[in-house]
Chain A
Amino acid sequence: SQQGEEDPQALSIQEGENATMNCSYKTSINNLQWYRQNSGRGLVHLILIRSNEREKHSGRLRVTLDTSKKSSSLLITASRAADTASYFCATGSGNTPLVFGKGTRLSVIA
């Protein structure tokens, strides 16, 4: 069964706008990661946030984690056409492999 569940399933925005994707999960975690997948390619790691962290930044990416609500959000600021991709959250806990969600498809229209 899949731990993380992204919302929305699909998102379409104009270039320059901000994109926000959410991830909810069910059990306690050690860390939560976000990955990007361009069409026809493998996943690429974007950012990792530990369970004792609340917010993390990397360039135009901002990730928040609320362990009390078992949720995370990924914010991409000033989006570009090149940000068009699917975004997946993945949760890590204990000695079990990462569990990936079903992803959010982001389309950035120029």
Chain B
Amino acid sequence: NAGVTQTPKFRVLKTGQSMTLLCAQDMNHEYMYWYRQDPGMGLRLIHYSVGEGTTAKGEVPDGYNVSRLKKQNFLLGLESAAPSQTSVYFCASSYLTFAGQGSIQYFGAGTRLSVL
């Protein structure tokens, strides 16, 4: 049981390049999330999904797009990377509801992205 798997683990991009981060979970969770973590800023929600085929904006969605074509996968795309997007990106999933016991989130190990 792998839990939440993120690929790649590290990536260096040049300004203007594009890339896709992949998140896969094997826990049959409905909810999936993408966060970025910057020093002193804690975790900030970029986008999230409440089920296959649905996505919603979080706190800092600008410059990112997401897709949830399959229940187990949640993709985060950067169409034109900027140095401000240098960060550590975390994917997470949860069972069902936002509130209550089912809202416990399970995290991947993170992707470290540098944009030069």
A77-92 with Cβ < 8 A to chain B: 88, 90, 92
Q: By the criterion CB–CB under 8 Å, are B42 and A97 in contact?
A: no
Question: A41-B109, A43-B90, A103-B42 are known contacts. Are A98 and B59 too (CB-CB below 8 A)?
Answer: no
Question: A48-B104, A97-B48, A102-B40 are known contacts. Are A42 and B99 too (CB-CB below 8 A)?
Answer: no
Closest 7 CB pairs of A and B: A42-B107, A30-B99, A102-B42, A100-B43, A43-B107, A92-B99, A45-B104
Query: Which residues of chain A have a CB within 8 Å of any CB of chain B?
Result: 1-2, 30-31, 33, 35, 40-45, 48, 50, 88, 90, 92-103
B86-112 with Cβ < 8 A to chain A: 90, 92, 97-101, 103-110
Query: Which residues of chain B have a CB within 8 Å of any CB of chain A?
Result: 4, 31, 33, 35, 40-45, 48, 58-59, 90, 92, 97-101, 103-110
Query: What would 16 A/B residue contacts be, using CB atoms closer than 8 Å?
Result: A1-B59, A2-B42, A2-B44, A42-B109, A42-B110, A43-B43, A43-B90, A43-B92, A45-B105, A50-B100, A92-B98, A95-B97, A95-B99, A97-B31, A99-B45, A100-B42
Q: Is the interface of A mostly helix, strand, loop or mixed?
A: strand
The distance in angstroms between the C-alpha atoms of A82 and B82, with both chains bound, is 37
Residue of B nearest to A89 (CB): B42
The distance in angstroms between the C-alpha atoms of A20 and B101, with both chains bound, is 24
Q: By the criterion CB–CB under 8 Å, are B100 and A30 in contact?
A: yes
Q: How far is the CB of B35 from chain A (nearest CB, A)?
A: 8
The distance in angstroms between the C-alpha atoms of A79 and B13, with both chains bound, is 41
The distance in angstroms between the C-alpha atoms of A101 and B104, with both chains bound, is 15
Neighbouring A residues of B109 by C-beta, 8 Å: 41-42
Q: By the criterion CB–CB under 8 Å, are B42 and A31 in contact?
A: no
Neighbouring A residues of B99 by C-beta, 8 Å: 30-31, 92-95
